[in-house]
């Protein structure tokens, strides 16, 4: 078995291997003799045939056909087409991002007329890395440890593991990039040394902050305990390039009176030269940007050449807001652990973007220059840590008998002892990881349907020594519906959906019975959900797969089935939702009110971009806000029921609304719930009489569980 470490980066990737005799890892050169392989894939079409280009060859070809060149695909890994980050990527990347089929909600990319998942594109990069490593080592590479950003969601980690499998690699472990960097740093620690380390990881596409305890025991083994991590999945070197690209666009607009901002080829050339200028500005006081024939005017006008200069001072001012965002996240991470800069012993700078003077000077100013470790290559340290783990990770040691078992084993083959929480084998660094976001379900709490109820809190060490449980009660009908989310928002739909578990309550059990929901979380970050009714044999257990069907991707047609233009529909819903928020805000929970405000901003953005798919998605989001906001939604429906109702019916509904509002103002929660039920019945009857079927589903809980007071 030959194992390698892989830093699968947004911009570049690197491969390392561990030398047991030296006790150190080293970077392997690729087929072009370079230590870094560009994470770029292209298809070259010639004489009716196609050839796949990966790495440097793809970069060299890209200027000819930017639409058939995929880069920064890491930002799309494990994301649904409806994801707001994907909508942002569609406006910034040079290739086409498209929805999958009806059974696949994930974002896909279009490459030479064919569609691929981001995991498939990443597998092409991994195949080249594996092939080059096999050539370099002289024997077949079969296993790998692959790094991901600390703030990657479970779906993104699953997509990375899927990419490894498609490249015919056995993925021994998916490890966080900052943790891998700390493993590389651990080689420099003395025996019985104790450090509190902050890893500042600013790569090509993502930014992570991790805080760890690092200890070297008497035997010389390194132990790393992750305390916390935060991150931004859309902050990195690509964004630094972007501010220079904007500067180039402004120069062209000023000099040639044309706007090249919608030309994909121009944008690709501008980004390539912006990246070169960024590197120069890390060493020099200014950089010249010269792009011959950069833009061909659509009206047949003369070609536009770019000849401009960017100074270090200008560049620092452009990227200052981005750097300040990173430092704000640093302060957030410290604050959550009640730490100050003085409590950190070492700061590791990781990622190529930390070579930017403005970046490392800001970090040194905050922590003190003496704490910032710049002796490890920031472009290689993540891969080096992965290589160390790849060469030393040989399984987990049974706490009962000490036997080494396969990493995936649940119990010891020798004695049957549980391996939950067991340490890695003695040769490998021991890593204690924590959940970066809470894991829980959408449930009913009070009158609010869209409540996120955490079952595994944020910052919980895993694998879990035992499953974690919360109790609920069924609401309406025999259907039990458990949507599983990962995130930190109190509003469930604002978090990241991991899947939905559904179960029909057996006929012999009463409706409104107690239901326990139990989560388990293993070392590979796979969630097992168990639904049970205490005192009965009713149990449903399932392992969530993050690549299964969730919410269908929005279809890009311009007009819906009712003949209402998508823009007009969203304009109406935006105005109606804004009025709803202004009228009923006191009855909306603060977290839900904040979500609605953000949704209204997103709706305005969708209208300004004229993106049909995004406008249709936001229409659905605003409908959910209108009909899923607890008491406020009941009052909204009451308004609709009163409009056009007979005088006696209208008086009854208005009186019921007044009763609920009075009890709400008095703080009588139990009476509010009782009166709200009566109001709901009146409204449903009035709407049914008028055959308003469109709101039928909004009147029920659709199988969601209600949280029991514990």
DSSP secondary structure letters along 272-288: HHHHHHHHHHTTSSEEE
pLDDT at res. 700: 61
CA distance linking residue 656 with residue 679, whole number of Å:
6
Query: Residue 560's pLDDT band (boundaries 50, 70, 90)?
Result: very low
Residue 396 main-chain phi, psi, to 5 deg: -120, 145
Query: Residue 551's pLDDT band (boundaries 50, 70, 90)?
Result: very low
b/e code 117-137 from CB counts within 10 Å (16+ = b): bbbbbbbbbbbbbbebbbebe
Distance of CA 8 to the CA centre of its chain: 16
Lowest mean pLDDT among 15-19, 77-81, 580-584, 668-672: 668-672
Contact 61, 53 (CB under 8 A): yes
Lowest mean pLDDT among 3-17, 234-248, 411-425, 650-664: 411-425
CA distance linking residue 513 with residue 287, whole number of Å:
70
Determine the 3-state secondary structure of 609 from DSSP. Answer: helix
Query: Residue 324's pLDDT band (boundaries 50, 70, 90)?
Result: very high
Element (H, E) at 173: strand 170-176
Read off the tokens for 323. 């750097």
338 contact partners, CB below 8 Å, separation of at least 6 = none
Q: What is the mean pLDDT of the chain?
A: 84
451 contact partners, CB below 8 Å, separation of at least 6 = 442, 443, 444, 445, 490, 491, 492, 707
pLDDT at 164 over 50: yes
Residue with tokens 């990443």: 122
Identify the burial level of 259 via C-beta atoms within 10 angstroms of its C-beta, where 0-12 means exposed, 13-18 middle and 19 or more buried: exposed
pLDDT at 400 over 80: no
pLDDT at res. 562: 41
pLDDT at 207 over 50: yes
Contact 708, 472 (CB under 8 A): yes
Of 159-168, 557-566, 587-596, the range with the highest mean pLDDT is: 159-168
Instruction: Please name every residue paired with 7 in a beta bridge, in sequence order, or none if there are none.
Output: 14, 147
pLDDT at 5 over 90: yes
For 489-527, what is each residue's pLDDT tens digit?
888 888 888 888 888 887 777 767 889 999 998 877 778
Instruction: Please name every residue paired with 196 in a beta bridge, in sequence order, or none if there are none.
Output: 213
Distance of CA 126 to the CA centre of its chain: 21
Tell me which of 539 and 188 has the higher pLDDT. 539
Identify the burial level of 710 via C-beta atoms within 10 angstroms of its C-beta, where 0-12 means exposed, 13-18 middle and 19 or more buried: exposed
CA distance linking residue 26 with residue 12, whole number of Å:
17
Domains and CATH numbers, the chain: 3-176 (3.30.420.40), 237-319 (3.90.640.10), 455-543 (2.60.34.10), 566-701 (no CATH)
pLDDT at res. 197: 93
Q: In what order do the strands lie in the sheet with 40-46?
A: 49-54, 40-46, 69-71
CA distance linking residue 413 with residue 419, whole number of Å:
10
Read off the tokens for 445. 């709490």
What integer is the mean pLDDT of 461-487? 86
pLDDT at 393 over 80: no
CA distance linking residue 389 with residue 174, whole number of Å:
10
pLDDT at res. 568: 79
Half-sphere exposure (CA, 13 Å, Cβ side) for 373?
24
What integer is the mean pLDDT of 584-604? 85
pLDDT at res. 419: 63
Tell me the CA end-to-end span of the chain in Å, nearest whole number. Answer: 51
Half-sphere exposure (CA, 13 Å, Cβ side) for 338?
0
Contact 371, 347 (CB under 8 A): yes
- Tell me which residue of 1, 2, 118, 4 sits closest to 384, measured CA to CA: 4
pLDDT at res. 555: 36
- Strand 496-504 versus strand 479-487 pairing type: antiparallel
What integer is the mean pLDDT of 39-52? 86
pLDDT at res. 194: 85
Identify the burial level of 696 via C-beta atoms within 10 angstroms of its C-beta, where 0-12 means exposed, 13-18 middle and 19 or more buried: exposed
CA distance linking residue 284 with residue 401, whole number of Å:
60
- Tell me which residue of 559, 524, 572 sits closest to 544, measured CA to CA: 524
CA distance linking residue 501 with residue 541, whole number of Å:
9
């Amino acid at each position: 078995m030959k194992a390698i470490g892989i830093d699968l980066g947004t911009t570049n990737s690197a491969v390392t291997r561990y030398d047991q005799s030296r006790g150190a890892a080293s970077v392997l050169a690729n087929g072009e003799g370079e230590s870094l392989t560009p994470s770029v894939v292209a298809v070259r079409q010639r004489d009716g045939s196609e050839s796949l280009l990966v790495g440097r060859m793809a970069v060299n070809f890209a200027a000819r056909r930017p639409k058939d060149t995929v880069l920064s695909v890491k930002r799309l890994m494990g994301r649904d087409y409806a994801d707001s980050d994907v909508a942002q990527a569609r406006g910034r990347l040079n290739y086409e991002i498209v929805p999958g089929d009806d059974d696949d909600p994930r974002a896909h990319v279009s490459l030479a007329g064919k569609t691929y998942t981001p995991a498939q594109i990443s597998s092409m990069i991994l195949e080249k890395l594996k092939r080059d490593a096999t050539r370099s080592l002289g024997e077949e590479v079969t296993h790998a440890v692959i790094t991901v950003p600390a703030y990657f969601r479970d779906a993104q980690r699953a997509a990375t593991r899927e990419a490894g499998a498609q490249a015919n690699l056995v993925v021994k472990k998916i490890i966080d990039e900052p943790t891998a960097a700390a493993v590389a740093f651990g080689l420099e620690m003395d025996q019985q040394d104790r450090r509190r380390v902050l890893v500042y990881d600013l790569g090509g596409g993502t930014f992570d902050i991790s805080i760890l305890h690092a200890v070297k025991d008497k035997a010389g083994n390194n132990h790393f305990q992750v305390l916390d991590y935060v991150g931004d999945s859309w902050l990195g070197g690509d964004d630094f390039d972007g501010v220079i690209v904007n500067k180039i666009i402004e120069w062209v607009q000023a000099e040639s009176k044309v706007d090249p901002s919608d030309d994909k080829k121009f944008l690709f050339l501008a980004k390539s030269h912006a990246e070169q200028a960024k590197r120069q500005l890390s060493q020099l006081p200014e950089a010249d940007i010269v792009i011959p024939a950069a833009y061909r005017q659509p009206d047949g006008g003369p070609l536009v050449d770019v000849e401009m200069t960017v100074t270090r001072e200008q560049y620092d001012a452009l990227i200052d807001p981005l750097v300040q965002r990173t430092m704000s996240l640093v302060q957030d991470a410290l604050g959550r652990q009640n730490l100050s800069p003085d409590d950190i012993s070492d700061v590791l700078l990781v990622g190529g973007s930390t070579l930017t003077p403005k970046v490392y000077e800001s970090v040194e100013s905050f922590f003190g220059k003496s704490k910032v470790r710049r002796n490890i290559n920031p472009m290689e340290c993540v891969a080096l840590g992965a290589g160390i783990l790849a060469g030393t990770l040989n399984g987990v040691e049974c706490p009962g008998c000490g036997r080494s078992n396969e990493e995936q084993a649940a119990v010891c083959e020798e004695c049957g002892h549980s391996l939950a929480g067991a340490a890695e084998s003695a040769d490998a660094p021991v890593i204690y990881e924590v959940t970066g976001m809470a894991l829980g379900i959408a449930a009913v709490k009070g009158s609010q349907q869209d409540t996120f109820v955490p079952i595994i809190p944020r910052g919980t060490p895993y694998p879990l020594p035992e499953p974690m449980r919360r109790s609920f009660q069924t609401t309406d009908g025999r259907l039990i519906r458990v949507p599983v989310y990962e995130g930190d928002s109190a509003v469930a739909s604002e978090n990241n959906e991991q899947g939905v578990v559904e179960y029909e309550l057996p006929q012999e059990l009463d409706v409104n019975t107690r239901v326990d929901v139990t989560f388990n979380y293993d070392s590979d970050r796979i969630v097992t959900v168990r639904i049970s009714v205490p005192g009965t044999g009713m149990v449903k257990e399932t392992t969530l797969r993050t690549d299964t069907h969730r919410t269908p991707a929005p279809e890009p047609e311009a007009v819906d089935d009712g003949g209402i233009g998508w823009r007009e529909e969203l304009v109406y819903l935006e105005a109606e939702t804004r009025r709803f928020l202004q009228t009923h805000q006191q009855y909306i929970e603060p977290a839900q009110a904040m979500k609605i405000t953000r949704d209204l901003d997103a709706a305005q953005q969708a209208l300004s971009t004229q993106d049909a798919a995004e406008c249709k998605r936001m229409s659905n989001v605003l409908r959910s806000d209108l009909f899923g906001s607890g008491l406020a939604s009941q009052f909204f429906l009451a308004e609709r029921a009163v409009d056009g109702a007979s005088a006696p019916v209208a008086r009854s509904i208005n009186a019921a609304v007044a009763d609920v509002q009075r009890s709400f103002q008095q703080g009588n929660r139990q009476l509010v719930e009782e009166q709200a039920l009566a109001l709901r019945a009146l409204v449903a009857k009035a709407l049914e009489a008028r055959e308003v079927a469109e709101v039928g589903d909004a009147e029920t809980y659709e199988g969601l569980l209600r949280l029991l007071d514990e």
